[in-house]
Structure 1
Amino acid sequence: MYAAGDATLEDIQSELTDRGLRTRATQRRPAGPISVSKIHQLLQDPYYVGIVSYKGDEYSGRHEPLIDRDLFDEVQDLMASRGRAGERRRVVHHYLKGTLWCGACWHRDQTIRRMIIRRTISRSGDEYLYFFCRGTQDGTCNAKYSNVQRVEDAVAEHCRTVQFTPDFIHAMRQSLADALTDQEASQHALKEQLESQLARLDTQESNLLDLAIDDTIPKDKIRAKLREIGVTRERLNAQLAAAVDTLTDAVEFISVNLRLLENPYELYRHGSDEVRRRLNQAIFTRVFIDHDEITGHALKAPLDDLLTVQTTYHANSVAKSCEEPPPGIEPFTWSEHHPATTKEGAAHKGDSFTSTTLRLPTNLDHRVPVSSKPHLVGLTGFEPATP
């Protein structure tokens, strides 16, 4: 029920109660429905896929799993996605919860307040859903209530504003392909260098063993040198193992984001409520709304950077078609905003992700940032640490 994406924990609680599941009665407390918190705990318990936890470690149990691993993982992903959006699903279920924020508060004094949803039933039995700012409950915001249906339409239409153009996607993909081609040569040179250093270590080790046989050098010094060689060999082998596909993860990360905004409106319009929820979480950090209208948004990284680059890309394309650039258009240099990234084709470990710079085709004279998973490159960079 939970993996289907439509049921809340309360729905599951009701279903279990209807089927006769109750807590065990005690002297103090009679039998009753399973609590919502217990259901939340059950959905995360790896025991049901055959895993036993003991003193913080997990072991394969002797019992037969009750559910398969794919279903368990799907439920964990769904619970995590709802948790990342900061949602409380105990009142009303809606895929926009956790995404909408009050535009009136933000534009008035930069205050961040979440929009919450409420359901009311009229005397005739009709149901009404609407979003409203949390600040209206304590009188700190006087924004009007927003009709849910009109907000849904506004968010869907807003997806048109965060779309990459075909020519920009083509230019970016060509740049990424060129970066991978350049990487092959540098990776080959790096491997040769590491293998050469490992060969020299083998020679040094062999010479030390010969000296040990002849008793030319004290045994303690030889053992210390051999330990030092062992530590160096382990470090070089680790670097050699890591010296593959350094940019591949970064390129794939950017490619996925390019595909995400290739046509987000159609993807959003035809998606289920759960697909829309995940799209909102993947694209937006916040969507600001004021009286049924979208008044602004904050995008997830790296989509915010890529859309900025796209704007500059088209501005430069227009400028190059004129004898003089239009007023107000300045050359874009990524290092002005992120000075830590300057070396072309190299990756540097940033605060929270690895960044690299790629040079786009000649009609765009600036550098384009891409980001990938953290810790792809050690603190010493590509070159091994040597005296």
Structure 2
Amino acid sequence: MLNSDDTLDTQAALRRANLRRALQLVFSEPGVQTRAGIARATGLTAATASSLVAELIDLDLIVDGEQAASTGGKRATTLTIDASRHLIVVVVIRPSEAALALVALDGTVVESRRISYAPSSRDAVLDEAVARIAAEYAGRLLVVGVQLPGTTDGRRVLESVQLDWTDVALADRLERAIGVPVLLVNDVDAEAIAEAAREDEAAGYRLFVHLGTGIGAAVTLDGELAPGPRDRAGEIGHVQVQFGDDARACRCGRRGCLEAVASMTAMLGDDVDDAMDEAAIAVLAASADERRLVVGARALAGSIRLIAAVLDAREVVIGGPARALGDRFLRLVQSEIDYPAMGTVGVSVRYSAADASISTGVAQVALSRALGVRWSPAQLRPASVAAP
């Protein structure tokens, strides 16, 4: 039997769950949802629904909105997201710079800024930047989401070739500087989440491949990230795909890695940087060596074909700055994939619909971690967090 403490714990847990359900209903239909709608959707009494709404208002998470359309009786008051109080901090770390933004609960960007650094000054500059935000927005910060290239368990950077970090306790360090919870998100995972979140409904497996100065992958199932148990899922950039004399040297110190042949730098040259805009990369792509593009497309397609066959993926999406390579590169990849193995079916390949410079994915992960809710697709589109 439950003792009195167990009963209290159960009641508290049920209350928290109902608060999240009510909050999600408002996040799904801001400016439309009502107290009566929450009661109907949850099966709770009108009094309980009103009590949940009152608590969410007290927590500065939602506010009363406009009057709903009349249905014959007294017009109900709609509920919407309170964007005036809490802020989510997003930090996108790249090798030589970072983009920082403050995002309100309704997904709008309140402020964005950019910082630059050298590898030797990166830690100090990042710490100073988040400490400055903590001072400027004291009492308003809810959570920090940090997007970075490399593997992470959400607290530590396990390994990042691009940042030259191994086993770095980054979340702990930034929490000391900013004073609110910090979570780390792999950049490709964040892109895949942002891509999936653009859809009202997403079904089946999707393989998302980031193609930039590095290469990584992520898998979503029915719109949700499908991570591995050891936080290493999608680390395909340094899998060997070339052998013998043809194997190119990779910056990781080995030879024949997928990144060494199919990354943007491998195909377009060392002038490419993930922070470059699409137009600048397109100029480099227009004069690129066709042979390098063909070799890169074949290596990438071979890797995709194997992974897609294992997953029975319904589609493959290429993200990152690769969109600047244009249709000719996409056709090269698709033509190589269009030779399916016996017993498999073909899979379509397209570029990501999301802008490579934005990071709505990490903002969504941070929101879910802090409040247990998700933005609707319509909200995520304007929630883009871009470097100025």
Question: Which of the two has greater strand per residue?
Answer: 2
Bin the TM-score by the shorter chain. under 0.3
Question: Which of the two has greater helix per residue?
Answer: 1
TM-score norm. by structure 2 comes to 0.21
TM-score norm. by structure 1 comes to 0.21
Larger Rg: 1
